[in-house]
Amino acid sequence: MKKAAVLMIEGYEESETIQIVDLLRRGGVETTTYRFQDDPFVLSMQGMRIQADAVFSFEAMKDSDVIIVPGGRTAWQRFLEREDVMDTLKWFHAQHKFIAGMCSGTKVLETAGVLAGKKVTGYTGYETVLTSAREFIEAPAVRDDNVITSVGPATPYPFAFAILEALGIDSSHIKERMLYGLAKGL
């Protein structure tokens, strides 16, 4: 079974995070949410307190196949202050494991140096922020080798489906049950 590690720090964007977790679990991925505090309930960008599964540590998540950094207007800055997060992202990249970032999570990946030379996408105006990327593409989700990026709150579905595809999991049954094609999803 494939494993995903989703980071939840105070200020994370709850709709991105919860939808991604839900879709990955529907796809059969063992998905664990990681917090950075003792309290299991993490305060989101919109003031919701949602329970995370475990406390972040490199040891706890090093066996994951993908590490996911969702967005959040203030969350990305908190991630940048955490050397352990930056080191973990660099380690995942060096091991050629999948690294995924959405919205302001892409700024965390940029700072960690994992976007260098990659094709990426990001939130409106981020083409001036994700400067180490080889190319900025206007698309809901972009995968280049081991890096998967997405635009923001409106794109968790194509982002999660890109992650499932990267992990070698066919998501067509999920899309069919959700009427994704009928809704003109990508």
* Domains assigned to the chain: 3-177 (3.40.50.880)
> Residues 44-96: pLDDT tens digits?
999 999 999 999 999 999 999 999 999 999 999 999 999 999 999 999 999 99
**Mean pLDDT in the chain?**
95
Sheet bearing 147-150, strands edge to edge: 54-55, 30-35, 3-7, 66-69, 98-102, 147-150, 141-144
Confidence (pLDDT) at 186: 61
- Map tokens 């990305």 to a residue: 76
Q: Note the pLDDT tens digit of each residue in 22-43.
A: 999 999 999 999 999 999 999 9
CA distances from 169 to 12, 53, 61, 175 (A): 26, 23, 20, 12
Residue 21 has pLDDT above 80, yes or no: yes
The reported pLDDT for the residue numbered 178 is: 82
pLDDT reading at 168 higher than 80: yes
Q: Amino acid identity of 176? A: E
Residue 179: the pLDDT is: 73
pLDDT at 18 over 90: yes
Of the pLDDT bands very low, low, confident and very high (cuts 50, 70, 90), residue 110 is: very high
Q: Please tell me the predicted confidence (pLDDT) of residue 88.
A: 98
| Cα–Cα distance for residue pair 18/12, rounded to 1 Å | 10
Distance CA 151, CA 161 (A): 14
pLDDT at 7 exceeding the cut of 90: yes
pLDDT band at residue 185, thresholds of 50, 70 and 90? low
The pTM of this model reads 0.95
| pLDDT score of 148 | 98
**What is the structure's pLDDT at 156?**
94
| Dist CA 30 CA 1 (whole Å) | 7
Task: Report the candidate in 14, 33, 35 with the shortest Cα–Cα distance to residue 25.
Answer: 33
